[in-house]
A and B are shown apart, each in its own frame.
Chain A
Amino acid sequence: GNSVTQMEGPVTLSEEAFLTINCTYTATGYPSLFWYVQYPGEGLQLLLKATKADDKGSNKGFEATYRKETTSFHLEKGSVQVSDSAVYFCALSLGTGNQFYFGTGTSLTVIP
């Protein structure tokens, strides 16, 4: 079947620290991969995406590379800010309707 496994949280980092949130997937075909972010009290927002192997998605200083050989799509940021505190969801899109399969989410708290 199709599924996404995310690094367990919560994660607490100091401002300007390096962030990695691991994400691996299992898919029956060739999925598109996404990272969504959910800030406190808000809805899910797309952070970045990659649609084929070796693509790199990037936005707001975050990056993730679609690695087919390791079935991974790890999220990284070189220097986190307090405003990055949120829950991050890795997801894949597959199937005739392109419905999403989400990971369980990783809560990130950045302290000054």
Chain B
Amino acid sequence: DTGVSQNPRHKITKRGQNVTFRCDPISEHNRLYWYRQTLGQGPEFLTYFQNEAQLEKSRLLSDRFSAERPKGSFSTLEIQRTEQGDSAMYLCASSLANSYNEQFFGPGTRLTVL
């Protein structure tokens, strides 16, 4: 399977704990995006990388959130001191750096904060 993969698929945690999600993009894609999707809403942009550089962050990405893409391949999204409002589906997508290229989405990681 050469699509975008995300791990874990589901994560249940207690409020105040830290969690980390991983995304493996399609291998030749140099752009990687993170989105958050809450129930009944469309995905909302969080941040994106071109190769290893994080080029833009949404105001939705509070200081409790951090994302890395250390070698320009896989990426991690960490949430510190989780809150119940962080409960959502976290989606990763990848693409080639071109204005017209579609983004390929992974299956997402569903986070539940108790």
Contacts and interface: CB of A to CB of B under 8 A. Distances in A.
B74 interface: no
The binding surface of chain A is classed by DSSP as strand
B17 interface: no
Q: How large is the interface on B (under 10, 10 to 19, 20 to 34, 35 or more residues)?
A: 20 to 34
B48 A43 contact: no
B35, B48, B101, B103, most chain A CB atoms within 10 A: B103
B69 interface: no
Nearest to B3: A43
Contact of B44 (A43, A45, A49, A102): A102
A49 to B, nearest CB: 6
A100 interface: yes
B56 A43 contact: no
Given A44-B91, A105-B40, A100 B100 contact: no
Nearest to A50: B100
B103 A100 contact: yes
Contact of B42 (A93, A99, A103): A103
What's the interface size class on A, roughly? Answer: 20 to 34
A34 to B, nearest CB: 7
Contacts of B56: 95-97, 99
Interface in B91-113: 91, 93, 95, 98-108
Contacts of A95: 56
A34 B102 contact: yes
Nearest to A34: B102
Interface of A: 4, 6, 32, 34, 36, 42-46, 49, 51, 89, 91, 93, 95-105
